[in-house]
Structure 1
Amino acid sequence: MVVIERNGNEKRKLMHKNDKCVGCGICVQLCPTQSLELGPIADISRGKTNQDKIKIEKDSCVLCGLCASVCAFDALNLEIDGKNIQDLPNYPKWTHFSEIDEENCIYCGKCSYSCPQDAVFFQRNLPKPTDLIHGNISINEDDCLYCKICEELCPVSAITIKAIPESSTRTDLAVPNNIEVDLDKCVQCGVCKRACPQNAIKQVCDTCMYADELPEPEITGKTFIDNNCVYCGYCKELCPEDTIKVVKPFDGEMLIPEAEECKDCQDCIEVCPCNALEIKDGFLSLNEERCILCGACINACPLDALQLRRSSMKLENITNASWQKIIGKLLE
């Protein structure tokens, strides 16, 4: 994290959080004092160098807050007298967002498993199997050989056969002589009963008989999106219940070339925070549904082959005329 602080009539502090930076370069493009420089984001993404994605020239930065205002990913923050400018009335406000409808979420976890930024988390609480499965199991230890066939075949590892030494002096000679069934794990499938060579296991499953009396499985939990989200919408795309809503920071289009040399370079693929680019059939391919038009791929492309056209952005409350002109460059 880079931090710049200055005291005067106001105490100003600018912070750059490298872990949230996507390398879009918007702050570099719009900085009125040219105090920002984009690092080698392709090498950074590949782990070849440990540099920050943005370099800030502390001597020339005037802490105006323009960079923090236009950062759509909360990687730059400016505080004035301890207050974030996002909470002050005279600064621009981003209105894009991502949210999950908790009431209708079924806690399947697809959003969490698929997020390219690991920004979606979920906790799932499942009922105990014993609340849903009823039955009885007993073992005649006089007939049991402790052969471990049932233990090895049990699909839920509910059976344990172990050796309890009969003498404390020769524990190395102990042979299997004890069997235990964990009823919290047992699913009353009957595999152990069918596999026992001595017919020493008796098992009766009552689940079907009492199915109408057993409760429906109640699955509860919690799902949330943290502030590392880049608003790609991949979670929304995969959600089977349509419980996720995503509004992206920009509207527009990305134009990509049909150049064979792209498959050898792949710098754009490395830096894309959304996993929206891939090599398909020998050419660079874009998943338009996931692209957030951030421009990181353009910054990484050594051929200057990619083109970005933004038609609108979810940035409002730009009251300063000079800032309106500068920020308007994002749509040119």
Structure 2
Amino acid sequence: MAAVSRDGKELRELDYKKDTCVGCGICVGVCPTSSLRLGPVLPIARGIVDMDLLNINHNNCVLCGLCSSACPFSAIDLKINGENIKDSKYYPKWDIGTSIDSNECIYCGKCEIYCPRDAIFVNRTLPNRKDLVIGEIRTDSDKCINCSICTEMCPAEAISISTRSNTSSDRYETSSINVDLDKCVYCKVCQKACPEDAIRIICTTCMNQDDIPKVEITGNVILEDDVCINCGWCDNICPTGAIKTKKPFDGELNFVENEEHFCKGDSCHACQDVCPCNAVTIEDGHSVVNKDVCTLCGACKGVCPQKIIDIKRSTINLENIKSKSWQSILGTLSD
């Protein structure tokens, strides 16, 4: 449902996606009618308050679309007669994004693990283990005394013992020793551990290694563009260079401290709590930013109680700004 909607010569609808919003306040800074206001970003980020990061004054909003165009995280959409202005040739467009080269990807899954927004999913198919290890196993349930040493020692958890009831002795006896060949690697640990020689292993993996097929891993990587904030974690962590990210801003973030205003580190960590990129850590009692994954969104600057965070954006990667008034307003986002 649209956050703001007005019908006239044109049907204009402004949609706010709270799950995508990072609370940076960029939209608030460019709104010409002061219709946008940030909520308590820090308490919301810490889970103390359950409310939207952005509040929209329905009465003041003129549905101009500046906020939608300025948001680098696609948290606000303006639609005119059902068409998103991001798809219109008349409105600005962000020249940003993350791309994955499927030819270079090895489906290691590191990008999925490190992504701070859960925007990447790696699906991979591994070959059957039984096709890569070769051997033979012989078990003798008559020798087995049901001590379960083999099941406890097996590093692949491939062995289980089935039992049957001996009614004459009111005890359970071994009926069979079961080995899951999909898990077994023929390491012989069970054979060496068995006190009754109930398991015999022959491993022929090394002898028949020329017959073992090459390990081939297939799969695909799903990147949810609507969730991705182009922070560059995946780009920096990818071991094969298969991922490339272009961020919304070029520039730098620094902590400018003095005797009166200084970082309180572990006792505060407000910047760390609100950072949507997991770019801030506390080291030796001071906040440190990983500039490789910082998007320069400014969320941290807005909540810093000491006001020591300085952000300089040298470039804003926003194109197709045709209106001079919009150029003036959006130009305030960069130095």
SS at match of 1:164: strand
CA distance in 2, matches of 1:274, 1:299: 15
CA RMSD in angstroms comes to: 1.8
Aligned to 1:255: 254
Query: Residue 303 of structure 1: CA displacement?
Result: 2.5
Aligned to 1:53: 53
Aligned to 2:271: 268
The counterpart of 1:298, out of the listed 301, 315, 331, is 301
1:324 aligns to 2:324 (yes or no)? no
TM-score scaled by structure 1?
0.95
Q: Is the 8 A contact 1:2 1:17 kept in 2?
A: no
- Which letter does structure 2 place at the counterpart of 1:118? D
Aligned to 2:231: 232
CA distance in 2, matches of 1:143, 1:166: 16
The counterpart of 1:187, out of the listed 185, 196, 210, is 185
CA distance in 2, matches of 1:307, 1:141: 73
String of CA shifts for 1:68-123, please: whole Å, max 9, x gaps. 01110010001111111111110000011111111111111111111111112101
CA distance in 2, matches of 1:327, 1:226: 27
SS at match of 2:161: strand
Query: Residue 298 of structure 1: CA displacement?
Result: 1.1
Q: Is the 8 A contact 2:254 2:310 kept in 1?
A: yes
Aligned to 1:92: 92
Aligned to 2:241: 242
Aligned to 2:164: 164
SS at match of 1:163: strand
Query: Residue 146 of structure 1: CA displacement?
Result: 2.3
SS at match of 1:34: coil
1:3 aligns to 2:3 (yes or no)? yes
1:73 aligns to 2:73 (yes or no)? yes
Q: Is the 8 A contact 1:257 1:284 kept in 2?
A: no
SS at match of 1:102: coil
Moved over 6 A (4+): none
Q: Count residues in correspondence.
A: 330
SS at match of 2:103: helix
- Which letter does structure 2 place at the counterpart of 1:139? T
1:30 aligns to 2:30 (yes or no)? yes
- Which letter does structure 1 place at the counterpart of 2:278? N
Aligned to 1:219: 217
SS at match of 2:106: coil
Q: Is the 8 A contact 2:166 2:173 kept in 1?
A: no
Deviates further, 67-76 or 102-111: 102-111
Aligned to 1:208: 206
Q: Is the 8 A contact 2:144 2:174 kept in 1?
A: no
- Which letter does structure 2 place at the counterpart of 1:39? G
Deviates further, 282-291 or 31-40: 282-291
Aligned to 1:283: 286
TM-score scaled by structure 2?
0.94
SS at match of 2:210: coil
CA distance in 2, matches of 1:281, 1:88: 49
Percent identity among equivalent residues? 47
Q: Is the 8 A contact 2:98 2:230 kept in 1?
A: yes
Q: Is the 8 A contact 2:2 2:13 kept in 1?
A: no
Deviates further, 129-138 or 295-304: 295-304
Q: Is the 8 A contact 1:25 1:38 kept in 2?
A: yes
Segments of 5+ residues of structure 1 without an aligned counterpart are none
